[in-house]
Structure 1
Amino acid sequence: MSKSNIFLTGVTGYIGGSVLERLLNHPNAATFNLTALVRSPEKAEKLKTLGVNAVVGSHSDLPLIEKLASESDVVIAMADADNLDAARAELRGLKKRFEETGEAPILIHTSGTGVLTDNAVGAYAYDTIYDDADADQIETLAPTQPHRNVDLELVNADKEGYVKTFIILPSTIYGIAKGKLVELGIQNPYSIQIPVTIDASVRRGQGGMVGEGKNLWPSVSNEDIADLYIVLLDAILAKNPAATHGREGFYFGENGEHSLYQISEAIAKVLVEIGKGKSPVPTSFTTEEINKYFGAPYLGTNSRCRANHSRAIGWKPVKTTADMLASIKPEVEASFHRKSLLLA
């Protein structure tokens, strides 16, 4: 059986580590040659013990990224949704691969449902719900939306025919990652949106939100979003006709929806429960707090979608909004643990 050369970026990160863990445990793992770009020489050595060809470098090493992509049948990019230069380097390398083999290689890129956001500042929920199976609707997104410039670069490359591009768009990802890569100190086990909200609330001693917290976002567990990458890769390699690419190659990661208020209220209640909060009812972050903790009121945006395309290729997410809210208490405990380590 021929082997697939798979080049991955972001494997030391929250999503990437969980995806790599699944590739290492995949039923067809023996048919994968895995190459990963990592910044840390120490983590590179640990990855080599797992059978991964770890190359030390960064997203600034564009000639290196181009070279590694040119040697690959599949690139799975999970490091930076907004690095246009790195995406272009990947595409240059994949174009060389196409010219050498005559086969269009595969690029699975990580974007995010931040591309759907507005400027609600927590004041309202918008009505539009984006469907990843509706290419016409997704095409209405302005090129100025977050992540959109990179997404469009990939779609345009697919149109040229030398690469097949597939874009996964995670939403609010939750849950503390577990597994061998976490145990070995390779993978970051924490997400961003919920932990940063918790950390800000801990520092002010009160659960907080942007505005009134009325804005809505979808959510997905770390386990479920990592599964989506594998389901998509399997569907592509099996030539599943539902695994479309390019303009029709968008795949949302969502399994439920929540308001910012729900998250902030859950945080506030936990803080009161452990004696670290003033009230179980969240209060609005001040402008000064938003600037201090987040830099902008991004948490107050709306992002609404349904992952119909992802489900059409066989993705079956398990965890729901209830699981997301239940995950907040251990995340609060982890926040205090991180702070105690910093002070140690």
Structure 2
Amino acid sequence: MASTDKRTIFFTGATGYVGGTVLARLVDHPTFANSEFTLLIRPSKKDKVSTLHSLGFKTVLGSYDDLDILEEQASKADIIFSIADADNLAAAQAILRGSKKRYEATGRQPLLIHTSGTGVLVDDAKGLHSTDIIYDDLNPDQIETLAITQLHRNVDVAIVDADRENYVKTYVILPSTIYALAKTKFVDLGLQNPSSLQIPQLIRAGLLKGQGGVVGKGENVWPNVHVDDVADLFVVVYENALSGRAGHGREGFYFGENGEHKLYDLSKVIAQELYNVGKGKSPEPAPFTEEDYNRPENFGLEFLGTNARCLARGGRALGWKPRYTTEDVFKSIRPEVEYVIRSGKY
């Protein structure tokens, strides 16, 4: 790429919790002035387009079901940030086809930064026990023992295989339990979802139950990471990918974690906060029942009873310095409870 050329970037997930927080970082990054961003925006979000244009972005209306659009936009991109759906294999394959076209047209390998998650590590603990198995992102041999049937894994493997074919350099970022309300310029402008998934799901399930709950005994363990630290991890990987210092392909997995928690401890704080605001009968969490699990609104609730332990050594080796710890997870619960109640989405 000539020094006068703008770096073309295709970005998916811009209005989402993680994607919007990452994009806000990139707007303030020194490379932004020499970058041309095209954002994939769902048709249901088309009212956001004019504001995004005013901020200097190009947009294309579409979703991960629009495979032709994904392939076309990827074929025009030097860099792709895929932050929309970790489990859509057809979408990932379309993006990879576009990346291959880009390579064939330019002779340069585009960079694909894909978002997976530590859900790929889960077991079937049902909240009844922890595990001693801890995955290390600097140990690709260990990661390759994961079964193709694990959550996200078929997409991750397809992406690594593409890197092995040498037409694209791939970097897979795997956040753990992401927490805290996002506070970015995009949230302020009404462009971005400010709330995560796992902790709000526990809060909503407790509100529906009328009592803070827990999966099984809550003995299972998950790592956690603040949304701002996740965004910093994306930027660190991006910077090191541009300079050629970041491992890619089978050596390009980057966990996001800065501590871990037992589900019971998290559930207890949620139960306490629901009790404090008059939405729970007791400050102690009660086990979820079959009735709770069978509520359509609680789909996937049992997933929160799994173990998914890991070490984020890869990002730290590149200079990632996460600031927030497990204590900050617990401090984030009250604002999350207030947000869920305020939104009325339970």
Mapping for residues 256-271 of structure 1, pairs under 5 Å:
256-271=259-274
What CA deviation, in whole Å up to 9, does each residue of 1:283-318 have, x standing for no partner? 100012012143341010000001001111111100
Show the counterpart of 1:19. Answer: 22
- Matched-pair identity in %: 55
Match status 1:32 vs 2:35: yes
Letter in 2 for 1:328: I
Residues in 1 aligned to 2:148 and 2:298: alpha-carbon distance in whole angstroms: 24
Shift of 1:57: 1.1
Mapping for residues 220-239 of structure 1, pairs under 5 Å:
220-239=225-244
Residues in 1 aligned to 2:93 and 2:168: alpha-carbon distance in whole angstroms: 12
Match status 1:319 vs 2:324: yes
Show the counterpart of 2:89. Answer: 84
Match of 1:294 among 295, 298, 309: 298
Mapping for residues 102-251 of structure 1, pairs under 5 Å:
102-240=107-245, 243-251=246-254
Task: Determine helix, strand or coil for the equivalent of 2:85.
Answer: coil
- TM-score, normalization by structure 1: 0.97
Show the counterpart of 1:97. Answer: 102
**Structure 2 gap ranges (5+):** none
Shift of 1:251: 0.2
Check the 8 A contact 1:272/1:280 in 2, yes or no. Answer: yes
Residues in 1 aligned to 2:280 and 2:211: alpha-carbon distance in whole angstroms: 5
Shift of 1:4: 1.3
Match status 1:72 vs 2:65: no
Match status 1:254 vs 2:257: yes
Shift of 1:164: 0.6
Task: Determine helix, strand or coil for the equivalent of 2:282.
Answer: coil
The Cα RMSD (Å) is 1.1
Residues in 2 aligned to 1:205 and 1:26: alpha-carbon distance in whole angstroms: 45
Residues in 2 aligned to 1:206 and 1:169: alpha-carbon distance in whole angstroms: 31
Task: Determine helix, strand or coil for the equivalent of 1:218.
Answer: strand
Residues in 2 aligned to 1:55 and 1:168: alpha-carbon distance in whole angstroms: 24
Show the counterpart of 1:280. Answer: 283
Using the TM superposition, name which of 252-261 and 294-303 deviates more: 294-303
Runs (4+) of structure 1 exceeding 4 A deviation are none
**Structure 1 gap ranges (5+):** none
Letter in 2 for 1:158: D
Letter in 2 for 1:313: L
Letter in 2 for 1:294: N
Shift of 1:26: 0.7
Match of 2:48 among 21, 43, 47: 43
Shift of 1:121: 0.3
Residues in 2 aligned to 1:268 and 1:173: alpha-carbon distance in whole angstroms: 19
Check the 8 A contact 1:219/1:258 in 2, yes or no. Answer: yes
Residues in 2 aligned to 1:192 and 1:268: alpha-carbon distance in whole angstroms: 17
Residues in 2 aligned to 1:84 and 1:336: alpha-carbon distance in whole angstroms: 35
What CA deviation, in whole Å up to 9, does each residue of 1:198-236 have, x standing for no partner? 011112121101100000000001100011111110111
Count of residue correspondences: 339
What CA deviation, in whole Å up to 9, does each residue of 1:120-154 have, x standing for no partner? 00000011000000001001001110000000000
Check the 8 A contact 1:169/1:253 in 2, yes or no. Answer: yes
Task: Determine helix, strand or coil for the equivalent of 1:6.
Answer: strand
Check the 8 A contact 1:45/1:54 in 2, yes or no. Answer: no
Using the TM superposition, name which of 7-16 and 284-293 deviates more: 284-293
